[in-house]
Amino acid sequence: MGLLLGFAGPFGSYPAFPIVTRYAFWLGLTAAGVLAAVAADAVLPAARLRAGAIRIGALALASALPMTFVVAWAMSAVQPGRFFTPEQLPSLFATVAAIQLLIVSAATTTSPTVSKMEESDPAAALPAPIEDAMPAAFPAVLLGRLPPRIAADIIALETEDHYLRVHAVGGSALILMRMADAVALIDPRLGAQVHRRWWVAHTAVAGLQAKGQKLSLFLIDKSIVPVGRSFSAAVRARFADVRNVSRPVTLQPVANGGRLAASRAHGQA
């Protein structure tokens, strides 16, 4: 824009100014005009259609106000002895506003705004979610230690001494791994640690069960996993989409190191 104005020499700058002076004059004023427009854009309230004609006109008028005094100073610097009286400032403001209108229009047309991107495609203005970039999967370090029937459908992890029992739809298996190491490896989207000894898969939770201050998770294999007190708030938030299990159950320890199975109070599985 500065080069174009320097070549055209509008408003008497050609042939009044030498060519070098003319280009320097218009390049400098254009740069100052862009800065004034940016400042006006930051000050004016955001409009719904940022690229609309009303917005462009408002930015041009707002930025022309300080630019009027900048131009008056620049003219006096280029042409010593020339100055503008207060009566001449309104006409100078109109001239500067016309130049600012060109600058703002050019900048708005060549720079796509966020609002225009959102109107054409709301999803285009947002970064792609991490969840869509790569599907969640259990780490190979864990799956490689399990038999195929266990690795297919993991529903929970349970600590047993220095080992980790991996519960799945097809059974369970012990591997030498600490719970903290396993949780650090597993994608958080797959599930969450609900107790110092338990991690459960999100898809394996069939319901929540509260008895007084105690909270438990009812899994799809009919087992019940206790929720640690320090994990309760996070569990309620994480598994809020699952239904509450209101039917009474009794917790029965079985032989595999404290793993719990659930049976209904009237004796049915």
For residue 111, being part of any structural domain is answered with: yes
**Are residues 120 and 149 both part of a single domain?**
no
| Residue 207: predicted pLDDT | 87
Residue 199 β-bridge partners: 157, 193
| Residue 49: predicted pLDDT | 45
Q: Lowest mean pLDDT of 94-103, 183-192, 256-265, name the range.
A: 256-265
Location of structure tokens 């038999």: 147
Model pLDDT for residues 3-43, shown as the tens digit of each residue: 888 787 776 676 777 788 888 888 888 898 899 888 888 88
Work out the average pLDDT over 56-74.
Answer: 86
| Residue 158: predicted pLDDT | 93
C-alpha distances (whole Å) from 257 to each of 169, 210, 221, 229 are 18, 24, 18, 21
| Residue 100: predicted pLDDT | 85
Q: Are strands 205-211 and 243-244 parallel, antiparallel or unpaired?
A: parallel
Split into its structural domains, the chain has a count of 2
Q: What's the domain range around 57?
A: 2-125
| Residue 4: predicted pLDDT | 83
For residue 134, being part of any structural domain is answered with: no
**Are residues 179 and 256 both part of a single domain?**
yes
Location of structure tokens 């029992």: 165
For residue 155, being part of any structural domain is answered with: yes
Across the chain, mean pLDDT equals 75
Model pLDDT for residues 113-169, shown as the tens digit of each residue: 444 444 444 444 344 444 455 677 888 888 888 888 777 688 999 999 888 999 988
Distance CA 55, CA 28 (A): 24
Model pLDDT for residues 104-128, shown as the tens digit of each residue: 888 765 544 444 444 444 444 344 4
Predicted TM-score (pTM) of this structure? 0.43
**Are residues 236 and 161 both part of a single domain?**
yes
For residue 135, being part of any structural domain is answered with: no
What CATH number corresponds to the domain at position 210?
Answer: 2.40.50.1020
**In angstroms, how far is CA 190 from the centroid of its own chain?**
21
Helix (H) or strand (E) holding 198: strand 198-201
Work out the average pLDDT over 173-198.
Answer: 90
**Are residues 148 and 36 both part of a single domain?**
no
**Are residues 197 and 119 both part of a single domain?**
no
For residue 130, being part of any structural domain is answered with: no
Last residue of a domain, one of 94, 125, 156: 125
Last residue of a domain, one of 76, 93, 125: 125
For residue 115, being part of any structural domain is answered with: yes
Model pLDDT for residues 238-257, shown as the tens digit of each residue: 887 766 544 433 333 333 43
Torsion of CA 159, 161, 163, 166, to 10 degrees: -30
Residue 46 pLDDT grade (very low, low, confident, very high; cuts 50, 70, 90): low
